[in-house]
Amino acid sequence: MPSTSDTHALTMLVRKLESIAILSDEERQAILNLPAKTRVLQPGQDIVHDGDKPSQCCLILKGWACRYKIIGEGKRQILSFHIAGDVPDLQSLHIHTMDHSLATLTEATVAFIPHDNLRELIAQHPGIAAAFWRDTLVDAAIFREWLIGMGRRSAYEHMAHLFCELYLKLQAVGLAGSYCCPLPITQVDLADALGLTNVHVNRVLKQMREQSLITLRGHTLVIEAWDELSQVSEFDPTYLHLEKRAAA
Amino acid sequence: MPSTSDTHALTMLVRKLESIAILSDEERQAILNLPAKTRVLQPGQDIVHDGDKPSQCCLILKGWACRYKIIGEGKRQILSFHIAGDVPDLQSLHIHTMDHSLATLTEATVAFIPHDNLRELIAQHPGIAAAFWRDTLVDAAIFREWLIGMGRRSAYEHMAHLFCELYLKLQAVGLAGSYCCPLPITQVDLADALGLTNVHVNRVLKQMREQSLITLRGHTLVIEAWDELSQVSEFDPTYLHLEKRAAA
DNA sequence: TGTAAAAATTGATCTGGGTTATGGCCGCCG
DNA sequence: CGGCGGCCATAACCCAGATCAATTTTTACA
């Protein structure tokens, strides 16, 4: 677990924010001037834990992470997936106690930025504050869509919907190919995200393979039939709010 | 549907914000100076609809409202409940297209405040901006908790958890009595929020009554055994982030 | 105060997804 | 290079909650 100061990491944050807002040169430079300490984490390692009161935020640079919570005798619910450019605990700036945990799913590189510096940044750059706020609102929109999937979609539809979502999110930050993208997680992870068991995830995946909607080779997802996949899950990308917009 | 200008409505907004942040006299006054148009709506009436691009936010003054989305052939998922003091479409300030609808559940009084005035307010008062941001973050925390309920709790646990949540939220704005609070919604509404059928909601309610956890008279919920209710649902109020805090 | 619609209740039956269990594959480490 | 642990796969059986179908109670309003 080496710990180094790495300003270059912040270009990932600039890229992410520019995917949802328009930044001025000055704003871009202010972000790049943030201090950041980069670390490499092993798969399955906690970054922040339920109940913590963090004094820094974490920026994912490489690999996948997830928010999750454990209830009962070890039942896990994954609340969101996170990829390069995400700041999954941005809410800790305004909500001081973590109500869930954050962990890596794969080996991952993450950068840590102190709250103090982020607060100063948003105090001096309202445009950046608006972009961050917007980012947390898109996050909430994704929670809502997951709620709909859990409550009112079948396992098959829900999973198809998730694949559509992940593909578009990865594409938006340049991490997807043509109808194919990395999916470096296990079936257990998928199950815990979808509110299913690993056994049933396996059954549904088999079905989707049989109907030639997808293939899953190693750790990459290939979408063989985007139209069908998005149709069976009634996928409407509006909720991802991917169009670039002026912050103010 | 009378339409009048009613500055007095804004004291509800001040009260709500003061339940999650500390406001200065100047900030309080700035909020009270907002323009607001008040209307009385019938139960089941849409306030904003999926796909709209609103130019104002709505503040609930009386009655209950909910966010919801319809999928498939009329399946409804309720995403959140809203009570007096809530601004359920605050996110429309930064996310321009609605990805869900907002409707009344009971007869309700709501006030409308133009985006332009809200934007000016938060531009001039960073403390208010922070309080609003925090409010949307608590919203997201509630979505996460609902996700956990849908994914990993039984119907019984999930419903018990919801009752604990609603009671505390109503209490926080002075709308609950001693272990009793209004619950002016139908079993169908409850089912659509919990991702169940009305039939099963009825059976679970019966069970909860039989075990003397609650009683449901008319439109008020009486919690007969708070400790048991919160225990069976592993209810931990942290995620509501109700403690009052300085915004900055 | 009658009466019609909305809401709650209950029973019978069915099914999507859970549970339990077992075996195969593959990569890693000793 | 052999054994062990993580992950994937599949089979057999089970159950929480869905579906379908009435019936009763409450509410709203003429």
Q: Does residue A95 lie in a domain region? A: yes
- Written as six digits, the tokens of B128 are 């208010």
pLDDT at A193: 98
Q: Report, as an integer, the average pLDDT of A39-65.
A: 97
Q: Does residue B178 lie in a domain region? A: yes
pLDDT at A245: 52
Residues 139-168 of B with CB under 7 A from strand D: 154-156
Q: Are residues B38 and B122 in the same domain?
A: yes
**How far in angstroms lies nucleotide D3's C1' from the CA of residue A170?**
39
Strand D positions with any atom < 7 Å from protein CB? Answer: 6-12, 16-21, 26-27
pLDDT at B248: 39
Confidence bin at A6 (pLDDT 50/70/90): low
The CATH number assigned to the domain holding A111 equals 2.60.120.10
pLDDT at B6: 58
pTM of this prediction exceeds 0.85: yes
Residues of chain A contacting B156 with CB distance shorter than 8 Å: none
What domain range includes position A181?
154-240
Q: How far apart are CA A89 and CA A95, in angstroms?
A: 10
Domain total for chain A? 2
Answer whether any strand D atom is within 7 A of the Cβ of B218: yes
A248 pLDDT exceeds 50?
no
Element (H, E) at B229: helix B226-232
State whether A79 and B150 contact (CB < 8 Å): no
> Phi/psi at A45 (nearest 5 deg)?
-100, 135
- CB atoms under 10 Å from CB of A55, counted, come to 11
State whether B96 and A245 contact (CB < 8 Å): yes
**How far in angstroms lies nucleotide D26's C1' from the CA of residue B15?**
36
Confidence bin at B19 (pLDDT 50/70/90): confident
Locate all alpha helices (DSSP H) within chain A, ordered by sequence: 10-18, 25-32, 115-124, 126-152, 155-172, 187-194, 198-210, 226-232
Beta carbons within 8 Å of B130's beta carbon, 6+ residues apart: A94, B21, B247, B248
Beta carbons within 8 Å of A4's beta carbon, 6+ residues apart: A37, A38
Q: Does residue B245 lie in a domain region? A: no
Q: Are residues B121 and B207 in the same domain?
A: no
Q: Are residues B133 and B179 in the same domain?
A: no
Name the percent of chain A lying above pLDDT 90: 90
Q: Are residues B186 and B125 in the same domain?
A: no
Q: Are residues B15 and B121 in the same domain?
A: yes
Q: Are residues B161 and B117 in the same domain?
A: no
- Give the range among A197-206, B6-15, B48-57, B59-68 with minimum mean pLDDT: B6-15
Q: Are residues A131 and A162 in the same domain?
A: no
**How far in angstroms lies nucleotide C22's C1' from the CA of residue A163?**
30
pLDDT at A119: 98
Q: Does residue A245 lie in a domain region? A: no
- CB atoms under 10 Å from CB of B222, counted, come to 15
Q: What is the pLDDT of residues A109-165, one digit of tens each?
A: 999 999 999 999 999 999 999 999 999 999 999 999 999 999 999 999 999 999 999
Answer whether any strand D atom is within 7 A of the Cβ of B185: no
The CATH number assigned to the domain holding B203 equals 1.10.10.10
Q: Are residues B172 and B223 in the same domain?
A: yes
Q: Does residue B144 lie in a domain region? A: no
Q: Which of these three, B107, B137, B167, is where a domain ends?
A: B137
Q: Are residues A131 and A164 in the same domain?
A: no
Residues 130-159 of A with CB under 7 A from strand D: none
Q: Report, as an integer, the average pLDDT of A43-65.
A: 97
Please, what is the Cα angle at B108 between B216 and B118, to 5 degrees?
A: 125
Q: What is the pLDDT of residues A89-110, one digit of tens each?
A: 999 999 999 999 999 999 999 9
Q: Are residues B117 and B223 in the same domain?
A: no
Residues of chain A contacting B234 with CB distance shorter than 8 Å: 71-72
pLDDT at B7: 59
Per the prediction, chain A carries an average pLDDT of 94
Q: Does residue A144 lie in a domain region? A: no
- Written as six digits, the tokens of A187 are 């079936």
Q: Are residues B105 and B177 in the same domain?
A: no
Q: Which of these three, A90, A111, A137, is where a domain ends?
A: A137
Element (H, E) at B18: helix B10-18
Q: Are residues B180 and B109 in the same domain?
A: no
